[in-house]
Structures are given as C-alpha cells and as structure tokens.
Amino acid sequence: MSETKNIPQHVAIIMDGNGRWAKQRGKERVEGHIEGVQRLRDAIKASARWGVRYLTVYAFSTENWGRPEAEVNAIMELFCKSVINESPELQKQGVRVKVMGDRAGFSEKVLSYIERIESETAAGERLTLILAFNYSSRSELTAAVRQIATEVAEGRLTTEQIDVQTVTDHLLSAGVPDPDLMIRTSGECRLSNFLLWQSAYTELYFTEVLWPDFTEEEFDRAIESYTHRDRRYGLVKK
C-alpha cells in the first residue's frame, strides 16, 4: 500500500457491467446485480481500510427505469433485502448511508427502506456511503437552477450573489466534498449523467473489469493509480 499522503477523500464509482457479467455466464441479469452487492461490500471495506471518507456509488439512474420491468422490480427488491442484510454490519463498521436522488418515483415500500437504512446508520462516522438511487445529474442541476431562480424572484437572492458556490450549495450533494477519484468499470469511458458538476476536477479511472469482478484488489489498483497522479487544477506546478 502506498503512503497515505495522497489518498482520495471522496471516491465515486459507476458500477457497470452486471448484465454483461451474467450474460457471459448464461445467468439472468439479476444474478449480476446480486453479485454486484458483494463487490459493493468489498468497496466499502477497502474504502475504510484506505481512509476514504466518502464513497458515492451510482446504484440506479433515472434512465434505468427504461429497463425491463422484471429487472427493475428485482433491483428494487434486492435493495430492500440488502437494507435488512447489510445494516447491522454497516453500523458495526461505522458506515453512514445517505441516499441521493429523486424519491418521487419510488414505491412506499422502497421509501420506507431508504428511511430505515439512513436512520439505522445515522451515527456512523468512519465512512459515508452515498447511494445515487434514481439519480440524474442533469435533473439535479435543473432543480438547483430552478430553486435559485425562485429565491431570486422572491428577493432572497440577487443575481450578483450567484456564483459557483451558490450552485454547489443547491445540489443534492451539498455539504459533501467533490469526488477526488471516479472509477468506472466494464470498459466504458463516459460519465453517463453522474456527478457532472461535482466532477470538474475529478481524476478518472477506467477499467475493463466488470463490476461483479471488481474485487478489493481491483479497488486497491485504482487507489494506487490515484496516488501517483499530480492534480494541478489548471495551475502550473512551481
């Protein structure tokens, strides 16, 4: 393990490749999602071991509603079961869970489990796990602009007061530092409407490994890659 002088405070992951993993093995797509839960356990464990403070994962995008109904229902059921199965261990590890996204599209059952996992893990201080669930970065930005416009119209804010921090403070991720490292599995090299504003200076790590095969060792490789990068934020290093 590298020296801890350059460890990312916030890691974001686009967990891609569950369906392809299942297809390669002649299994139903939901089997890939089930295996993906184990890899999320590994990522949480590795994050805590490295000293990462925030881990944000793209669990379900707004576009994912367009998948077959049976698959969507299976994902929602898997989430509810995972809350029951994982909550005790998350509490033991000091992991706080926050769910980020549009909750309007969820059933009452799913909403109750979202509230349950957030409540049961609220005391966690070692690592904050943020689940981007029914999340769209464009929708997030649109909502932020709409709220800012409302505040201007109501006289609570002037146009001269609007700056980068104003927008940041109106996002779903308000109060959370921007990701230092973004990992995407499965060989795809795009952000797919995930944390677009927050990732302005994020280091990107793309790997051919499918998410169900992304073990702790693979996570370590990503962190090791980050530790050797020189982040200049558009400046010239003296």
Domain boundaries, the chain: 7-136+178-227
List, run by run, the mean pLDDT of 10-residue segments along the chain (238 residues): 73 97 97 97 98 98 96 97 97 98 96 98 98 98 98 97 98 98 98 98 98 98 95 69
| Active-site annotation holds for 64 | yes
In the prediction, which pLDDT does 37 show?
Answer: 97
Altogether, the residues listed in the chain come to a count of 238
95 Cβ neighbours under 8 A, 6+ residues apart: 44, 48, 121, 124, 126, 127, 128, 129
Active-site choice (42, 64, 178, 213)? 64
pTM: 0.94
| Active-site annotation holds for 102 | no
The 8-class DSSP code of residue 229 comes to -
Other CB atoms within a 10 A radius of the CB of residue 225 amount to: 15
In the prediction, which pLDDT does 238 show?
Answer: 61
In the prediction, which pLDDT does 231 show?
Answer: 76
Backbone torsion region of residue 106, taken as left when φ is above 0, otherwise alpha when ψ lies between -120 and 50, otherwise beta: beta
Which CATH topology does 7-136+178-227 take? Undecaprenyl pyrophosphate synthetase (3.40.1180)
118 Cβ neighbours under 8 A, 6+ residues apart: 97, 98, 99
Give the C-alpha distances (Å, rounded to integers) separating 107 from 33, 80, 110, 214. 20, 11, 5, 30
The bridge status of strand 203-206 relative to strand 10-14 is unpaired
In the prediction, which pLDDT does 237 show?
Answer: 67
Between vectors from CA 69 to CA 64 and to CA 75, what angle results, nearest 5°? Answer: 60
Residue with tokens 């464009």: 138
Query: Of 36, 49, 56, 60, which Cα lies nearest the Cα of 94?
Result: 49
Torsion angle of C-alpha atoms 199, 117, 169, 133, degrees rounded to 10:
50
Taking a C-beta distance cutoff of 8 angstroms, is the pair 136, 62 a contact? yes
